[in-house]
Structure formats: C-alpha cells, structure tokens
Structure 1
Amino acid sequence: MTRPLIAVTGRRAAQVPILRFSATVAAEAICEAVWAVGGEPVILHPPAADPIAELPARLEGFDGVLLPGGADLDPCRYGAQPAAETTGTVAFQDDFDIGITKALLDSGIPVLAICRGMQVLNVALGGTLHQHLPEVMHHNSIHPVDVQDSSRLHGILGADRIEVSSYHHQGIDRLGRDLTVTATSADGVIEAVEHRCADIVAVQWHPEDRHAESHTDAALFADLVDRARKRKANR
C-alpha cells in the first residue's frame, strides 16, 4: 500500500539560535520518525515571497501535516512587545506557519504540532504566549508530564504520565479558542493541547528526540500516520 503523504512545514536553519537544536537535524529526525511508522514525509517549503499564496492548493494531495519546532514567534502576532529573551523571529516564517495552521482548521487534514507548532496553533486561535520561562524552562531536559485521562492524547499514549524531552523557553499563556489542555508539567506549563473540532493534536515536547526515544514518542507519529492513512483511504 502506498504510504500516506505527510507534509512537514519547512524551517530555515539560520532561524534557530545556536544554543538550541539545529533546525536541519530536527527536520531530519522528524522525517525519519514519520518514515519509521509508515509515512512519506515531504518538506513544504516556506517561500520568503508571498508565503501564504496558494496555501490551500499546496495542501491538496497531502494526507497529513506535521508542524515542527523552530524559532520564537514574533510577539506582535499576539499583541505583545518583544522581551529581551525573544530572538530569531522571521516575519515570512510566521506568516507561513500561521497561514497554514488557519488553512488546516477546516481542511479535515490530520495534524500533529510540535513545540513551536503548538505555540503557532495557540496564537492562530487568538491565544498568547509566555515569552520566557526561566524558572520552568526545561531547556534540553527530560522531565515528566501528566496526561488528562479523558483526552485523545491519553488514548494515543496509553499512559497517565510520561517522560518527555523539551527544548523551549516559551509556552502557552492564554489558551486559544477551541483548544483543550491535555497535558501539563509539575510546574504548570501547558505541555499538550487538542482542538475540539479539527483533527489536531499538539505537544510542547519533542517526540523526535532520540535521547528520549520510547514507545510513547513513536506513538505520536504512528497516530498521525494512522489518521492520514484513514483519510487517504476515504478520499
């Protein structure tokens, strides 16, 4: 059977500050994770000129979409002034990510959002972000998160608590409309959300990080590919 096509939104490596992970490596790890569970990953390029042009048309033919991590989102997108710690923002990347997220809401295409992807989802739906969380940063760390037992995420992971790998200094503040919190860390950081209507699951951590590789990490990618496969079969 032909593998379902999974669009992975592209990133420019120069956008990611040197103290964080390499965007190129992250994209490679994500693509490997999608391939390992039966998907066909395809990088969707974010053009600097007219990044949101033809987005609905570009999504046609894809069976699923993965919104990966990346640099900070410009605070102007949620009505805030930038803090000193907010760095690496790129206007056309924000335009592209927010535009594609909004296009996905009514598309019926299954989505998995990771780290920045979850933050973009929240902002696209009218939410805001904490720009810097030094006391709860989890930078390059393994830590536990608690999963809501009534959530889709719980059904995917099959666990009340899991160990995750995080690389972030920003997180959700005010929750966007139609989003439900599905996991939190002990310090109160929102670690996962899902959309009440659209087929979207989002996590703050990096399931593609092989340093924390486990059945729960693979389960998120397997779930995306399974949802994509069902969409492909029904089209």
Structure 2
Amino acid sequence: MEALDAATRLPASGMMATPRTPLIGVTGMWSNRVHGLRFDGNAVAVQVLKSVVSAGGEPLILFAESALLAPDRVRMLDGILIPGGADLRPQTYGATAHPETVPADYEGQDAFEAEILRVAIEEGVPVLAICRGFQLFNVISGGTLNQHLGDDDNPHRNSVHGVELIAGTVLHRVLGVDRIDVSSYHHQAVDQVADDLIVSARASDGVVEGLEHPTGEVVAVQWHPEDTAAQEPHQQALFDWLVGRARERRRTRTGAPVAVNSR
C-alpha cells in the first residue's frame, strides 16, 4: 500500500504530485493456448481493457498465482472487474458436469476469481462482473446454474437480444433506460438466484441478465457490454460506473487527489 500511496504524496520540491488514476484489477484467464505465445498465457479480452481505459481507469491484469494473499492484492486496487470466459466447474455449486460444460484450462481458475470477488465484497471494493463473472457472483453467493440452455434457437449464444431492466436497481440507474439490446454469448444461465442478491434485469424468455449486491457495490451482467461500448454510451456506462466508484472510494479512503478522465 505504501508504494501505491506514494504516487499521491507531495514531492520534495513541494509541488503537487500527479493525481493517481484509479487502478482496476482485471482477473486474467490462464489459458493453454494464446496466439503468439509458445506456452500457456494469461488472457483478457482487449475490449474489456479498452473500455476501462476509456472510462479513465488503469487496468491491471491479475494472474491466478501470486506471492500475495487475496486481501493484500485487493487492497492495493481501487476496483475489480471479473470478465467473461470459460464455464465454472459444476462442483462449485454441487452439480454433475453436463456434456456441454467446458471449464477453464487451469483447475484453480474458479477458486482464484472467487477469492478475489469474496474479498472485494468484504472490503467494499466496487466490482463489475461480466458473463462468467456474473455467474461466479451468483454461485459464491449460494446460487446455482443451468449448465446448458440448449442448441436450437438459443437467443443467448452469439447474438443480440433485448433485456428489460428492473426499476429501482443500481443497473437501471447506471444505464438510464428501461430496455436495452445486448451482445450475448453464453450457453449457461442462472438457475437458482442466491437469496441475498437482487435481480436487476431479465431477458424476454425469463433468463436473469443482471444481479447486484444489496450494498450496491457489485453490479453483474450476463451480457458483454465491452463488445459495443465504443459505439453505445449505455454499454460504456457500466465501465464508467466502475471507474467512478473506484475513484470515489480512493478519495474517501485517502483524501488524496485522484485523476479524472480527460479523454
């Protein structure tokens, strides 16, 4: 923490140090194959990272292994983003694997992201969770998943469909609309919603598309806002919310000046 806080202290000359841009930890997916690498890689979708940058944040990709404990990693950051990726292992919610379930390459991926997410919730760190992250949020909170929605006429697999937002939720306030078209790429969905979570959006077929924590500091969506964020302000608004909450949290914690997006 001291090394990170140093960026906001006054230098010896007495001039004000450059305000620090909010740091957003983005969990990377340990993958067996990444184009251009000879061996395993640590991957995050470029559009996720670009959307964080566009919001005025600095994305830092987190590796599944670390010399630090999860609380130490999370406390160095101002916000957390859990992006999309492979299916969760069904054992995490007490189910037997469906033939169509394809878990992450790295066996410890679920535990890594779950630990980061749990600590962020405990510490009050703002979180945006997308697709896989959305499903993980439900599972660690006590919910379950439908492992396969089916192959025939599945409107959620590599398509665009409408989502209805629920009034009074953080998601509804952030997006500022009652209905939105979303870029969707998932074959699994929330089955039983965890008792403590708030449903904030649904598709026309009833599939849960949005969840949030009662504190309002975790917003999770089943779709991929990064796909169209550069063209659609309503989608970029999710990343703006995360970075804005991260900026405010840092200001509240330290009283230090924090950089405002000048893009």
- TM (normalized to structure 1)? 0.90
**Alignment partners' CA distance in 2, 1:192 and 1:154:** 10
Work out the CA distance in 2 between the residues paired with 1:32 and 1:150.
29
Determine whether 1:92 maps to 2:108: yes
Secondary structure at 1:208 match in 2: helix
Shift in Å, 1:115:
0.3
Which protein is bigger by CA-based radius of gyration? 2
C-alpha separation between the residues in 1 aligned to 2:103 and 2:161? 26
CA distance in 1, matches of 2:101, 2:33: 12
Q: Matched residues in 1 for 2:204 and 2:157: separation?
A: 15
Structure 1 segments (4+ residues) deviating >3 Å: 13-16, 23-26, 210-213
Corresponding residue for residue 32 of structure 1: 50
Alignment root-mean-square deviation, CA: 2.1
Instruction: State which drifts further: 67-76 or 193-202.
Output: 193-202
Which structure 2 residue ranges, 5 or more long, are not aligned?
1-18, 35-40, 254-263
CA distance 1:25–1:174, change in 2 (3 Å): same
Once the two structures are superposed, what CA deviation does each residue of 1:173-224 show, in whole Å capped at 9, x if it has no partner? 0111310100000011100010113610000000110388411110000000
Corresponding residue to 1:151 among 160, 165, 169: 169
Match of 2:207 among 167, 173, 189: 189
Higher helix share: 1
For residues 188 and 63 of structure 1, do their structure 2 counterparts lie closer, same or farther at Cα, with a shift above 3 Å needed? same
Structure 1 position 53, deviation (Å) = 6.2
Matched, 1:119 2:120: no
| Structure 1 residues 66-85: Cα deviation after superposition (integer angstroms, max 9, x where no partner) | 01011000101111000000
Which of 82, 102, 126 is 1:110 aligned to? Answer: 126
Deviation at 1:26, TM superposition (A): 5.0
Are the equivalent residues in 1 in contact too, given 2:31–2:43 (CA < 8 A)?
A: no
Task: Name the counterpart of 1:20.
Answer: none
Correspondence for 1:73: 88
Q: CA deviation at 1:99?
A: 1.3
CA distance in 1, matches of 2:227, 2:126: 22
Question: Which of 187, 198, 208 does residue 169 from structure 1 map onto?
Answer: 187
State the one-letter code of the partner of 2:219: V
Stretches of structure 1 lacking an aligned partner (at least 5 in a row): 17-22
Quote the Cα distance in structure 2 between the aligned partners of 1:118 and 1:52.
Answer: 27
Give, as a single letter, the amino acid of the residue that structure 1 aligns with 2:142: G
Q: CA deviation at 1:52?
A: 10
SS at match of 1:113: strand
Distance 1:15 1:75, change over 3 A: farther
Task: Please give the alpha-carbon distance, in whole angstroms, between the structure 2 residues aligned to 1:130 and 1:15.
Answer: 27
